[in-house]
Amino acid sequence: MKRFCCLFFLVAAMLIAGVSRASAFQQQQQEFPEPPKTQETGDIVLRPTPKSDNGIFKKNEEIVYRLKITNNTNSYKQGKISYLLTSDEGKKVRLDSVHLAIRGNSSKEILVKMLPKPAGFYRINFMVNTPDYDDTVRKVFGVNPQEIRSQLHKPADFEAFWKQSRVQLEKVAPRYRVLEREDLSTDRKKVYSVEMHSFDDLVIRGWLVIPRDGKKFPVHYRVPGYVVSLNPNMDSDDFIAFDINVRGNGNSKDVINIGTDNYCLVNVENRDKYIYRGVYMDCIRGLDFLCSHENLGIDTSKIFVEGGSQGGALALITAALDKRVKLLTMQVPLYADIHDNMNISASYDKQVFPFKVFRRYNDIHPGFTWDKFFSTFDYYDPQNFAPMVKCPVLMGIGLLDQFCPPRCSMALFNHISSNSKEYICVPNSTHEVNMEYFMFQNVWLREKFRIP
Amino acid sequence: MKTRRIFPFAFCLLMLFIFPYKTFAGFPIGKYRNLVVPSFSYYSQTDHFDVHGNYVKGAPGARFSSFSANLYVGYGISRRLDVIISVPYLYQVNNLGQGNSIISQGAGDMVAGLSYNLINFKYVRFLSVQVSGIIPLYTVPANGNSALGLGNSGTEIKLMYCGNLPGFIADKGYFNTEVAYRRYFDVQGPDQLSFLATVGIPISWHNQVSLDVSVFRSFSSNTTFNINYNAERNYAFCETTAQFRPPVFTPVFDVPRRLLCSLRDKYRFGLWRFGSNHF
């Protein structure tokens, strides 16, 4: 009996110890989450980790980073460790430094503490300078981003413009063509190629994937990133997956077939002919297709729209313009708060999309003023659509994103009218989110749609 | 010598059994979502081990049989908090031999409680705690013994850790481990400790196989032997269960193999010995 009890408690204790250790590790992670394991090379490596696991601090909370310094050389190093804190528009907030002395092949940690900051996003550059080595590690943190406010530059006839666009779209007969692609179908899923006529009578295409194991499914409606080709989405077992290639993307390049450098510039000087008018309407036409094909097992009461980058913007606009969308998930939405995006991007050492493209166009077109740019783009800024979104929303952002600065994404998010909205910050991501976000998105979707 | 005793016991004592009070792992159910799992089990016993670990053959014609149905209902109050209720219904025949038998039937011990997800490891693994109350749904006869259960209310606390199997073990699959302590509110207790480990791996789109290993020990000052495990207070067992089942449903159509030993005053030879040698 004693042996039985001993063995039993040994097993139980091992489990509990394992769990406690895991728990303690997690708590430690929450205090200072481990940065992702990457191949970092260099004589001296800096690994800063924010105290909050998602890089977001509260308004009255002290900003704390744990900075791990590793000397990968065999020799003793002396120099300086410093950090430069700026606003996300590059305005200097604080510069501080400490003396560095570190033995060869060793590491040490220091805590970097800053006073609480007002709501917003801040860039923090950690720098190491020795007589023979310099390096900088760039991070971004946020403070109460849900308090970020931005000005809406919404034209007076914004609603009328889009109402008129819908009217024009409705005048185009969709002439749907649905073709089963047995060569792409599997034992578990049927794949259809879908074709339809959209705004200005352009033909656009998409991919419909229907699980064979069931009769009626909610729909995962995916809209594309910037000049990205969407293919049949075979990953979703509990949803019908519909992926649309808007004009100029994927297999919808019959008329518009241009590269990434010029896509967003097509007719940028003409509000009525700008390419995104048709693109936004293509997304609505995709919804029209879904809602007119219930016979394929589409549960039209459960359509969720999703996209990343340009797709994030398209998803939001689709949900704003059409109440047939019941849930919206978007990652790193492009073009959000385009005015502030321009100001923030002006501070970058090197220009990145989208203002890299817009500035180049501005440089080579003397008559094209920024006022003219905004007189068109204000009709297309996703932020101006945000108040029209009423359905539940999930948004993911990367704090190191320069294409879609976190402030602009959060400004957009804060303008969304829905009273059921959540966001996730991924601190070490640039223009992307991580697997944890998608794991949560899966939970979130099942919760909202009550999917078993 | 022992080996020769145990193998006949294992193979001759045919028992098809699903422990009806089994719960459904530490995975959070999810906000607004629910889980309803009806299950049915059959248990039959003729022989047992005595206090010394000796195999005791039952009287000619004697057999204890139990048919039990169980309804488990869980509801996600929030992303972390679930409420669970489990209600068993028992039909038991204690055939004493020579044509004498005692039949008892009715609702058993209801278990109702709350499960809280303490830590979510990137939505891949979950550490949860569950606190439950045990409420007998039957009346206890004047002699104080009911065949449907101990007749006492009680409480249980359970720690659960579950999630996806690590990639180096299997691409797809899950595990669940549970450690529980249960206390019945009676001077005789019992106090019960249990440990359960489960590993499940899908073998096709609709089917999976899983393996359970559990160790159970019930401590009480009342060491009276009762062939009806529902009404016994002092006993132990170790079991393995191999299951083949649809991935969504848990044990509705399980055909587990359970090797259970009900021991009388098991102070020297518990089933652990049995298990440690041969599981």
Q: Looking at the complex, does the CB of residue B29 fall below 8 Å from at least one CB of chain A? A: no
Cβ within 8 Å of A, B 84-113 = none
pLDDT in tens, chain A (452 residues): 444 444 444 444 444 444 433 333 333 334 445 555 555 678 899 999 999 999 999 989 999 999 999 999 999 999 999 999 999 999 999 999 999 999 999 999 999 999 999 999 999 999 999 999 999 999 999 999 999 999 999 999 999 999 999 999 999 999 999 999 999 999 999 999 999 999 999 999 999 999 998 899 999 999 999 999 999 999 888 899 999 999 999 999 999 999 898 999 999 999 999 999 999 999 999 999 999 999 999 999 999 999 999 999 999 999 999 999 999 999 999 999 999 999 999 999 899 999 999 999 999 998 899 999 999 999 999 999 999 999 999 999 999 999 999 999 999 999 999 999 999 999 999 999 999 999 999 999 999 998 87
Answer whether residue B17 shows pLDDT above 60.
no
| B266 reaches A (C-beta below 8 A) | yes
* Contact (CB<8Å) A446/B121: no
Q: Evaluate if residue B7 carries a pLDDT over 50.
A: no
Contact between chains at A439 and B122 (C-beta distance less than 8 A)? yes
CB contact under 8 A, B236 and A4: yes
- Among A164-168, A273-277, B196-200, B245-249, the range scoring the smallest mean pLDDT is B245-249
Of B127, B161, B193, the CB nearest to A8: B193
Q: Which CATH number fits domain A44-147: 3.40.50.620, 1.10.10.10, 2.60.40.10, 3.40.50.300?
A: 2.60.40.10
Is-contact A207 A249, C-beta < 8 A? Answer: no
**b/e sequence A282-314, b meaning 16+ C-beta within 10 Å:** bbbbbbbbbeebeebbbbbebbbbbbbbbbbbb
Contacts of B179 in chain A (CB under 8 A): 12, 15-16
Strand A421-426 and strand A327-331: pairing? Answer: unpaired
**Beta partners for residue B146, in sequence order:** B149
pLDDT tens digit sequence for B77-91: 999 999 999 999 999
Angle between helices A275-291 and A310-321 (to 10 degrees): 60
| Interface contacts A/B by beta carbons within 8 Å | 70
Q: Which of residues 159-188 of A touch B (CB under 8 A)?
A: 188
Chain A CB contacts of B215 under 8 Å are: 8, 11
What pLDDT shows up at residue A386?
Answer: 98
Phi and psi at A16, nearest 5°, equal -65, -40
Peptide bond into A354 cis (omega under 30): yes
For position A78, what pLDDT does the model report? Answer: 94
Helices (H), A32-107: none
All domains of chain B in start order, with CATH: 2-278 (2.40.128)
**Which residues in chain A have their CB less than 8 angstroms from residue B276's CB?**
7
- Between residues B212 and A388, which one has the greater pLDDT? A388
Average pLDDT over residues B153-161: 95
Q: Please check whether residue A98 touches B, CB under 8 A.
A: no
Fold classification of A158-449 (topology level)? Rossmann fold (3.40.50)
- Segment B148-176 shows an average pLDDT of 88
Strand (E) positions, A271-359?
298-308, 327-331
Cα separation, B215 vs B275, in Å, equals 9
For testing contact with chain A, the best of B263, B272, B274 (most A CBs within 10 A)? B272
pLDDT at B51: 65
Query: Residue B19: pLDDT band by 50, 70, 90 thresholds?
Result: very low
A213 reaches B (C-beta below 8 A): yes
Chain A CB within 8 Å of residue B7 CB: no
Please give the average per-residue pLDDT across B10-37, as a whole number.
60
Which residues are registered as beta bridge partners of A143?
A57, A120
Instruction: Provide the total of helices (H) and of strands (E) in chain A, helices listed first.
Output: 10, 17
* Residue of chain A whose Cα is closest to the Cα of B160: A19
Which amino acid belongs to residue B20?
A: P
Q: How far is B140 from chain A (nearest CA, A)?
A: 31
Read off the pLDDT band of B245 (50, 70, 90).
Answer: low
pLDDT of amino acid A319: 98
Secondary structure of residue A121 in the 3-state scheme: strand
End-to-end alpha carbon distance in chain A: 45
Highest-confidence segment of A411-415, B143-147, B217-221: A411-415
- Please report the pLDDT score of residue B246 as a whole number: 57
Pairing of strands A393-398, A421-426: parallel
- Residue of chain A with shortest Cα separation from B159: A16
Least confident of A152-156, B187-191, B230-234: B230-234
The mean pLDDT value of chain B amounts to 75
Which residues have a Cβ under 8 Å from the Cβ of A55 and sit 6 or more positions away?
A139, A140, A141, A142, A399, A425, A427
A29 lies within 8 A of chain B by CB:
no
What's the pLDDT score for residue B47? 80
Indicate the domain borders of chain A: 44-147, 158-449
Cβ-based neighbour number of residue A206 at 10 Å = 28
Residues in chain A: 452
Give the three-class secondary structure for A330: strand
Name the more confident of A261 and B276. Answer: A261
**Those residues with Cβ within 8 angstroms of residue B166's Cβ, 6 or more apart along the chain or in another chain:** none
**CA A230 to each of CA A202, A276, A283, A447: distance values in angstroms, whole numbers, following the listed order:** 18, 18, 13, 27
Taking alpha carbons only, the member of B114, B65, B67 closest to residue B86 is B114
The interface pTM score, or ipTM, of the predicted complex is 0.78
